[in-house]
Structure 1
Amino acid sequence: MIRPTLLCTAALFAVAAMAPAAAQTATAAAGAASDAPTGEPTEIVVTAQKRSERLQDVPLAVSVVSGDVLARQGAVNLEGAQYLVPSLNFRKSGTSINQSLYLRGVGTATFSIAGEPSVSTVLDGVVLARAGEAFSDLVDIERIEVLRGPQGTLFGKNSSAGVVNIVSKRPGNDFGGYVDGGFFFDNGNEYRIRGALDMPLGDNVRTRLTGFYGKYDGNIFNDAPNVNRRVNGYERYGVRGILEADVSDTVTLTVIADWRRADDDCCAEVIGTTPAGIAAGALAGIALKGDRTRTIRQDLITQTKETSWGLSAQLDAELGGLTVTSITAYRRYDNREIRDGDWLGQAFSDKAVNPGRLGLNQLHDDGPQTGNTFSQELRLTSPADQFLSYVVGAFYSRAESERTFTRTVLRCDTALAPTSLVACGSPGAPPSDVASGTATFGSVFDNVALFGQSTLNFSDRFRGIFGLRYTIDNLSVFHSRVATPNIANIPGVNRNFDAGVFATSTPANLNGNPAATNGVPFRAQTNADNLSGKAGLQFDVSDDVMAYGTYSRGYKGPAYNMFFNLNGNGTNVIAPETADSFEIGLKNALFDGALIVNLAGYYAKYKNFQANNPDLVAGVVVTRFTNAGDVSTRGGELDFAWRPVPDLSFGGGVAYTDARVDSFNAPAGGAAVPAGTQLAFAPKWKGSLTVDYRLRTGGPIDVTFGAQGSTQSSQLSLFDASAAIRAAGLIDAYSLVDAQIGIVSSDDAFRISFVAKNLFDTSFPAQITNGGPGGSLRYLIPREADRYFGVTGRVNF
């Protein structure tokens, strides 16, 4: 348990993640060193309420992290942001499509193609419909705004826990750019190169082209004979182009296009505890040391292959003091998940240990998925300096996804199994056979909404906030599963290869008639509408202090549990999730803005909470997406940024989060998670601290120093009714410290830095899962769980 005093100490110093962001402006030329300290504090401008405002004027809890801070910390995607924003947590998974973000202890973990995240990710004004899309590479980013608590009034239905708003750097008015690169080592080698170029095409047209490439060996060694190399790495590359055109004095057009390719051999789960039975022999020679295990033996490399691209056009027109904004976007997201599901090098049979039963089957998954999203937003924004200021608008989106998922199992013949451990396919092994099942399933989300939020300026210091959003959701799904051969009634074979869920399903035969023709899909459709909103008061205590209190109603639409293992008992509609949230806050800009201290306290109650429940399918542990019951979260947060002198800044924050079960809906035949149980991936205490200093020598070269620390208390990874299973899946408290030292030219034309990550070599798992071979535990080990070093350089021109 991390002592509260440690976090209080961090809070006294914490503040620099926002300080560099304060030095950023969206129109800064690419050649300028955007992270260079300036002599005077600069206002942080955000778009958290669909208009540009000072951070200190926004009546909600927002953390701002600059893209340059993320780059200096070596962050590749949003997984790295969790170490800079205490309220933000991350659920790592075997492949990116199943990963999740959590805010204030609330998030959605699901394998369903017909479920949506609770934390919405918005990229340059465009909502990313699927959770996996949120984890693309963060390249040439101006800033990330993390909005905590329900944000449905302005951002829509899949923001019941919050929003991560990503803003790209915009084109400059002059020709210029940068190139930077990095080499990281001592935990697998990594190479990165990225750059941007501003190219004005005239007085009224500006463009910016960004490209990147990265390759990493991985932090885990796979000693399987046909692999014998590092895994958990990646190779990624992509481009983005932005065009801004001043069509007239009052009309601006912004067009953004991007394309990205990712080939990740991530993320293999290590077996960290000694398996029972023959599984122990199958892993002989591997040092099983819990979260310090760094070797696996898997004949299939777990991989994610992604291709994504998007195109958006934003038109901003001033009409008599009003601003009309139209954002039209289309995005394509293709993901292929390849997974070793037996976590061993091959199949085994051992009749002496398991008489009359199979040994260890080989289980391989391959699940390509395609998806596309069209969205259109139209809004009208009034001037802010009038009695009634407002943002009103309409939104439409259509998100289509389809997946073909094949599970293949190889096994030795039971009757002819030998009386000693033997690998299937080796000399003396019994004959083996292969069974497979292929499920094709998909979903279509249609969403229409009308929304508006207004501010009533009762006086220069006192304001009221009122907002409403009316949402209509339509969700349709289909699912079919075909087995080869049709093995639904063969004893001892997992029923997840049966004919699936068809129209022949009955209460007595949930999976339908196994003799029926395969391939007739199950189809379903549901509709829902919702009225949610926000109300609050805001008061300027002084020119430097603002207090606010708000009530927000959050909403997340209906869902289905569409995944490979679908059975008849999982075809029900998952009801919409709603949240009632109360927040009070105090924002302080002291000493002429040199010190910013923002405080927030909150309570939120979630009804019909959508979450994964543990369940059994033919003795195999699976997770089933359901309405898990009611949960609540309460806590307090502190963010601050302090620049005592022009070249020294501190930043960070601290968060206390008490997210727990209030009442739990137990699965059929299962036990309920007890009331009061801590939610998964919700540490009670978490803090971060960043320090940056630039020593100006008076010569052509200055010296920079930096350090960043993060710390958190224990958190649950296994959310289960069993106290013993929850204890086995507890991720212990840990702290990480990074450091940098570098040289930078006095005119910021170049910078070279040496980076040390996880300076004290603290090992920790990102996730712990049960159900490994022989009853073992599986661990996902992130790269940050080992110490490593790097050299980075940047040239501006």
Structure 2
Amino acid sequence: MTNISNGSLLRAAFLTALTGVSAIALCAPAMAQETAPVPAAADDAGGIDIVVTAQKREENLQAVPLSVSVVGGEAIAAQGGVNLENAQYLVPSLNFRKGGTSLNQALFLRGVGTINFSIAAEPSVAAVIDGVVLSRAGEGFGDLVDIDRIEVLRGPQGTLFGKNASAGVVSMVTKRPEDSFGGTVEASYYDSNEYRARATLNIPLGENIRSRVTGFYSEYDGNLRNIALDRKVNGYKHYGVRGVIEADLSDAVTVILRGDWRKANDDCCAEVIGTVPTNAAAAALSGTNINGDETRRVNQNLLTQTKEESWGVSMELNAELGNQTITSITAYRKWDNTEIRDGDWLDRAYVGLNQLHDIGPQTSKTFSQELRLSSPSGNFFEYVAGLYYSRAESQRQFTRDSLICSASTLAAVSPGLIPCSTALGVSTIRSVTGTTDYGSIFTNMAAFGQVTLNVSDRFRAIGGIRYTADQLEGNLIRQTNVGGASAGGINPNFDAGIYNNGSPVAGTPNGLPVQLKKVNDNWSGKAALQYDLTDDTMGYASYTRGYKGPAYNLFFNLGTSGAGVIAPETVDAYEVGLKNSLFGNRLILNLTGFYAKYNNYQANNPDIVAGVVVTRLTNAGTVSTRGVELDMMYQPSRAFSLNGGLAYTDAKVDQFRLPPGATEAQRVPNGTRLANAPKWKGSLGATYKIETSGFANIELGAQGSYQSSQLYELSPSAAVRAGTTVKGYGIVDVSAGLVSPDNGWSIRAQVKNLFDQSFASSIVSGGPGGSYRYIIPREADRYFGVTARVNFGSEK
């Protein structure tokens, strides 16, 4: 008789239920689509009307008792945006933590997020595209292609969106096919050899079948000069395709098939050394003109790169089942990412300065299934209920190669700086190599529901609950040619899974791979009250209990002290808000106050492992965030519009918890501001259209953003915190364009960072000789671009 575990039985029963309801949906009569285009301008009556799906059903933005910011796809395009990094300049509560590769980047909302270096940990801000939750943060940083809008939901959203939304959700909604033929061809040039091209076709395939396909290509040389390789770096090359087919199977059943494929080859992001090292590395870096965030040169003999390929397919089915609406979203995604990194930031190995090069290919795949049942709107009792299942697998092979010498007969290139040589008898050089294979499997099942009681025409009560069952599996095995003590940043000493030239290292128990497993469940939910104070003003108050599942700190240099499970993170959040639609909906003014307390906060903290500065995930204790947010949209006429926002965020450590094996010197003081959490952040944009009655109308635009100082490293050292703090800065973009009266063509010119304000998008410790490493984004320099676009058919 076959043995089947309880977990396997539960998964089988859960998937059987999902499949059964999907089959019912295919046979049922159906309903409207889940998402709809958001008007970017005032409606015919002159008012602003924005539809969102923040609560898994179509609703007017002003009727949703949540703090939501909506950014249209055209606004992102006007920013010259390539990915979500640019959205941070439009949404004040959103911050983007840039890393050396997309694996190491993260989103933060209200000062809370997870810098996710571990392969067995999840983000705190969920990235969602067309209803599909992306399992890993890096998957959400692809090109924003044919985007209709981005909805930013602030605060815990786990009731409807799941466990990796403990700080919020960024939901990307792509454009839908139309009933008539049309298309767009667009080409852009930005200085420093940046080229972009995109083409979209909207093709009806029959009376009830519509399709839309978009292809894109872009490339950029970069904003830094690598003097060792004599070339520009921090550029990219991206290309791919996205397509959607939408079919009305009957008057009541609609199915949407979506697919996308993307390939990226980035030489981003080389870290500049922004402060002068205290050792001989200072001479090796003298040609980089070290000057903080003004530094634009590196001297590295390995090209830091990210090579990435991703694709995904999904099927969304919407159907009526009596008066109810059933939605099924089935998705499969594949994401492969290879990180190549120069970890010594020098042009070669020197005596006492090891060369350290890393390469880490990772493969990831995710299957997910969501089923929802929704009641009609407008009744006394409204509800959304659903089931969710996902299985996300990742595997990585990370290799670190080091060249080490303690003496060399070569001549010094400057006092104290002597190159190593691989020639026999010249240097005491040796090559040290270590490879770690490690991976994770996240299995998640959930049942959720949210109800709204329309007590009166003005008063509503909302309640929601989610049950989550998690299973996390981890594996790790390491092989190295190092015996005994650590060398070259490679640690051979782990309880199991360590090999020395094919044989187990003496002192390890058995040389077997490390196998980890953790099972956990959780109840989370929300309660809210909503009241229409007037026909134009709605107020609400809510309490939310959020949850983020357990994690393991799997990374290359994992040691015994870091091998334990990272406990689940929970949050209690409170929010009050006023949503105002004034002057006949021409002015939207929304104000929100919030407070959230996170327990077992999962955060990366700097640590020394095998003589190398690393960041490892820990339960950092209790943290809190509180503040006020203001969102504004004003359109006094069709020719002129203003939009902007302002956020005050006070996010800090309440009670820091030392990780196992840490000393008191590693304690982060209570009251320390959280990383990636500026206290003040704001944006303001304006557009003005001039109708000339000639061959073209004129469009003018300006966008400004400002943020106060921002910490990047949550360190116990006051000196490190000061060194990794970016001072406050503001940037201004302007644009001007000619647009044909029928919107058939347009030419727009843009100046980014008009006042040439330099800044860093990341500063961390751990550079040679105690120096600090800076990442300098494209937006830190003034540049310009021109975009030409032709629209035809339905796209006009």
Given the two structures, how large is their TM-score scaled by the length of structure 2? 0.92
CA–CA separation in structure 1 for the residues paired with 2:66 and 2:220: 38
Equivalence for 1:70:
76
What is the aligned partner in structure 2 of residue 249 from structure 1? 251
Measure the CA separation in 2 of the matches of 1:104 and 1:285. Answer: 40
Aligned with residue 221 of structure 2, among 217, 220, 223: 217
State the aligned residue count: 748
After the TM superposition, which segments of 4 or more aligned residues of structure 1 sit over 6 Å from their partners?
A: 25-29, 33-39, 415-419
Residues 1:60 and 1:37: Cα distance change in structure 2 (over 3 Å):
closer
Residue equivalent to 2:30: none
What aligned pairs does 1:335-374 form with structure 2 within 5 A after superposition?
Answer: 335-349=337-351, 359-374=352-367
- The match for 2:139 among 133, 137, 159 is 133
The answer to whether the Cα contact below 8 Å between 1:481 and 1:499 also exists between their aligned partners in 2 is: no
CA distance in 1, matches of 2:544, 2:156: 6
Segment of structure 1 superposing worse, 618-627 or 96-105: 618-627
Alignment of structure 1 residues 203-602 onto 2, 5 Å: 203-224=207-228, 227-349=229-351, 359-414=352-407, 420-425=416-421, 429-483=426-480, 485=481, 487-490=482-485, 493-494=487-488, 496-498=490-492, 500-502=494-496, 514=506, 516=508, 520-602=512-594
Paired with 1:544 and 1:41, the residues of 2 have a C-alpha distance of 12
Give the superposition deviation at 1:644. 1.1
Question: Secondary structure at the residue paired with 1:423?
Answer: coil
Aligned-partner residue type, residue 162 of structure 1: G
Partner amino acid, structure 1, of 2:546? G
Q: What percentage of residue pairs aligned between the two structures are identical?
A: 58
What amino acid does structure 1 have at the position aligned with 2:496?
Answer: F
1:424 deviates by 1.4
Is the 8 Å Cα contact of residues 270 and 295 (structure 1) preserved in structure 2?
A: yes
Give the partner amino acid of 1:387: F
Q: Residues 223 and 518 (structure 1 numbering): CA distance in 2 closer, same or farther, change over 3 Å? A: farther
Describe the SS at the equivalent of 2:222. coil
1:682 aligns with 2:677: yes
In 2, Cα distance between the equivalents of 1:211 and 1:543? 45
Aligned counterpart, 1:662: 654
Task: Assess, with a 3 A threshold, how the Cα gap between structure 1 residues 36 and 453 changes in structure 2: closer, same or farther.
Answer: closer
Q: CA deviation at 1:413?
A: 4.3
Whether the 8 Å contact between 2:400 and 2:490 is mirrored in structure 1 is no
Q: Structure 1 residue 90 and structure 2 residue 87: aligned?
A: no
- The alpha-carbon deviation at position 41 of structure 1 amounts to 2.6
Deviations 1:679-726 (A, max 9, x none): 001000000000000001122310010000000100101210111110
Residue 648 (structure 1) aligned to one of 640, 645, 650:
640
1:150 maps to 156
Q: Distance in 2 between matches of 1:503 and 1:213?
A: 43
Give the alignment of 1:686-725 within 5 angstroms. 686-725=681-720
1:160-200 deviation line (CA, Å, top 9, x unaligned): 00000100000011000111111000xx2200001211000
Q: Quick one: which of 35, 40, 57 aligns to 1:51?
A: 57
Contact 1:38 1:647 in 2 (8 A): no
Hey, what's the Cα distance between the residues in 2 that align with 1:574 and 1:421? 43
User: Residue 450 of structure 1 aligns to which amino acid in structure 2?
Assistant: A
Alpha-carbon offset, residue 38 of structure 1: 6.8
Give 2:615's match in structure 1, choosing from 623, 632, 643: 623
Q: Distance in 2 between matches of 1:644 and 1:415?
A: 74
- Does structure 2 conserve the Cα–Cα contact (< 8 Å) formed by 1:464 and 1:538? yes
Mapped partners of 1:42, 1:35: distance in 2: 6
Match of 1:193 in 2: 197
What amino acid maps onto 1:502 in structure 2? A
Report the Cα offset of residue 273 of structure 1.
1.1
Q: CA deviation at 1:613?
A: 1.5
Q: Distance in 2 between matches of 1:400 and 1:79?
A: 26
On the 8 A contact 2:432/2:487 being kept in 1, the answer is no
Deviation at 1:439, TM superposition (A): 0.1
Q: Structure 2: which 5+ residue stretches go unaligned?
A: 1-33
Task: Say whether 1:632 aligns with 2:624.
Answer: yes
Cα drift, residue 28 of structure 1: 6.5
Of residues 173, 176, 181, the one that matches 1:170 is 176
User: Is 1:613 paired with 2:605?
Assistant: yes
Looking at structure 1, the residues matched to 739 and 440 of structure 2 have their Cα atoms a distance apart, in angstroms, of 51
Q: Secondary structure at the match of 2:281?
A: helix
How far did residue 35 of structure 1 move? 7.0
Q: 1:41 aligns with which of 30, 44, 47?
A: 47
- Distance between the aligned counterparts of 1:418 and 1:792, measured in 2? 53
Q: Residues 731 and 764 of structure 1 are in contact (CA less than 8 Å); yes or no, is this contact kept in structure 2?
A: yes
Instruction: Quote how far apart the aligned CAs of 1:252 are.
Output: 0.2
CA displacement at 1:286 relative to structure 2:
2.2
Residues 655 and 687, structure 1, Cα contact 8 Å, conserved in 2: yes
User: In the alignment, which residue of structure 2 is the partner of 1:15?
Assistant: none
Residues 527 and 429 (structure 1 numbering): CA distance in 2 closer, same or farther, change over 3 Å?
Answer: same
AA aligned to 2:160 is: L
Q: CA contact under 8 A between 1:488 and 1:497: conserved in structure 2?
A: no
- Cα RMSD, aligned residues only: 1.9
Contact 1:309/1:331, CA 8 A, preserved across alignment: yes
Residues 309-333 of structure 1, C-alpha deviations (whole Å, 9 max, x = no match): 0000011001111100010000000
Change over 3 Å in CA distance of 1:283–1:415 after alignment to 2: closer
Aligned to 2:12: none
Give the deviation of 1:515 after TM superposition. Answer: 5.4
Contact conserved, 1:440 with 1:479, CA < 8 A, in 2?
Answer: yes
For residue 785 of structure 1, report the CA deviation from its aligned partner.
0.4
2:776 is the counterpart of 1:784? no
In the superposition, relative to structure 1, how do residues 36 and 289 fare at CA in structure 2: closer, same or farther (>3 Å)?
farther
**What TM-score does the superposition give when structure 1 sets the normalisation length?**
0.91
CA distance in structure 1 between the partners assigned to 2:37 and 2:520 by the alignment = 44
Conserved? CA contact 1:741–1:753, under 8 Å: yes
Gaps spanning 5+ residues in structure 1: where?
Answer: 1-24, 350-358, 506-511
Query: Which amino acid is the alignment partner of residue 168 of structure 2?
Result: G
Match of 1:160 among 166, 178, 188: 166
CA separation of 1:295 and 1:597: change in aligned 2, threshold 3 A: same
- 1:449 partner amino acid: A
Q: Which letter maps to 2:213?
A: L
Q: Residues of 2 paired with 1:137 and 1:273: CA distance?
A: 33
Q: Distance in 2 between matches of 1:37 and 1:537?
A: 29
CA distance in 1, matches of 2:394, 2:422: 41
Tell me the CA shift for residue 504 of structure 1.
9.5
Aligned to 2:29: none
